[in-house]
Chain A
Amino acid sequence: MHDLAHAQEPEHEHSVVPSDPALRVKSLESLLVEKGLVDPAALDALVDAYEHKIGPRNGAQVVARAWVDPAFKKRLLADGTAAIGELGFGGRGGDYLVVVENTPQVHNLVVCTLCSCYPWALLGLPPVWYKSAAYRSRAVIDPRGVLREFGLEIPEGVEVRVHDTTAELRYLVLPELPAGTDKLKEEELAALVTRDAMIGVAKVTLPKAGGRA
Chain B
Amino acid sequence: MNGVHDMGGMQDMGPVQREENEPVFYQRWEGRVFGMMWLGSAWRKWNLDAMRSAIENIPPADYLRLSYYEKWFAALIDLVTSRGLVTRAEVESGRPAAASAKATPPVAATGVPALIARGNPVRRDVAVAARFQAGQRVRGRNINPPGHTRLPRYARGRTGTVERDHGVFVFPDANAHFQGEKPQHLYTVRFAARELWGEQAAARDAIYVNLWDDHLEPA
Using a CB–CB cutoff of 8 Å, the interface residues on chain A facing chain B are 1-4, 6, 12, 14-17, 21-22, 24-32, 34-39, 41-47, 49-51, 54-55, 90-96, 98, 111, 113-116, 121, 124-125, 127-129, 131-141, 143-144, 146, 149-150, 156-169
Contacts and interface: CB of A to CB of B under 8 A. Distances in A.
B40 A38 contact: yes
28 contacts: A1-B26, A3-B65, A21-B69, A28-B76, A35-B102, A38-B39, A39-B107, A39-B108, A42-B105, A43-B31, A92-B116, A98-B188, A113-B9, A128-B68, A129-B16, A133-B7, A141-B8, A141-B11, A143-B205, A146-B16, A149-B15, A161-B208, A162-B206, A163-B208, A164-B152, A164-B208, A166-B211, A168-B48
Contact of B105 (A24, A38, A156): A38
A38 B36 contact: yes
Given A133-B64, A140-B154, A163-B208, A91 B118 contact: yes
B10 interface: yes
B207 interface: yes
Interface in B184-215: 186, 188, 193, 196-197, 201-202, 204-212
Given A37-B103, A113-B7, A43 B35 contact: yes
B91 A138 contact: no
A22 B208 contact: no
A109 to B, nearest CB: 10
Interface string B31-60: 111111011100100001000100100110
Nearest to A131: B68
Given A25-B29, A136-B8, A141-B8, A95 B119 contact: yes
Given A91-B117, A140-B207, 15 more contacts: A2-B67, A16-B66, A28-B80, A36-B102, A38-B39, A43-B31, A43-B36, A51-B31, A113-B154, A114-B5, A125-B34, A128-B19, A132-B17, A143-B205, A160-B205
Nearest to A44: B109
Nearest to A201: B16
